[in-house]
Amino acid sequence: MANFCQQCGGPLQPGDTVCPACGTVIPGNDPYQQQYQQPPYQQQYQQPGYQPPYPGGVDDRPVKSKLAAGLFGILLGGIGIHKFYMGKIGMGVLYVLFAWCGIPAIIGLIEGILYLCMSDAEFENKFGVRVR
């Protein structure tokens, strides 16, 4: 940053945009102006390889209740309701097909308990949803 006027060589105070001695406009001597010209957040987005947390900056993952998924698994897991709720339609159909033998009810019960024991972050990562 120039602290002397390029025209007359007179001393400049930080923040002077015009030389007090000769009136020459001093480009780039205004700290506030420089700050606005290169905001840090803009640099962050301009860095190569930088990925915003969500595409388009919007978290468009479906919102699911962990409690609801857990209760569905425990109470209605025998017909795969928790799978349908979480959008795993194919898995839900399998649960329905094997509902007659009772095994899906046991698996659903275990899965329901697991859901409720998971942290929100684990649940979100496992199913690609947002916990509410």
Does the protein bind Zn ion through residue 22 (CB under 5 A)? Answer: yes
Q: Decide: residue 96, CB within 10 A, 0-12 exposed, 13-18 middle, 19+ buried.
A: middle
Residue 96 and residue 103 in contact, taking contact as beta carbons nearer than 8 Å: no
Q: How far is the CB of 6 from Zn ion (least distance, A)?
A: 8
Q: List the one residue from 1, 18, 21, 63 that touches Zn ion (CB under 5 A).
A: 21
Nearer to Zn ion, 10 or 15 (CB): 10
In the region spanning residues 1 to 20, those forming contacts with Zn ion, defined by CB under 5 A, are: 5, 7-8, 10, 19
Residue 80 and residue 91 in contact, taking contact as beta carbons nearer than 8 Å: yes
Q: How far is the CB of 15 from Zn ion (least distance, A)?
A: 15
CA 93 to chain CA centroid, Å, is 32
User: Where does this chain bind Zn ion (CB under 5 A)?
Assistant: 5, 7-8, 10, 19, 21-22, 24
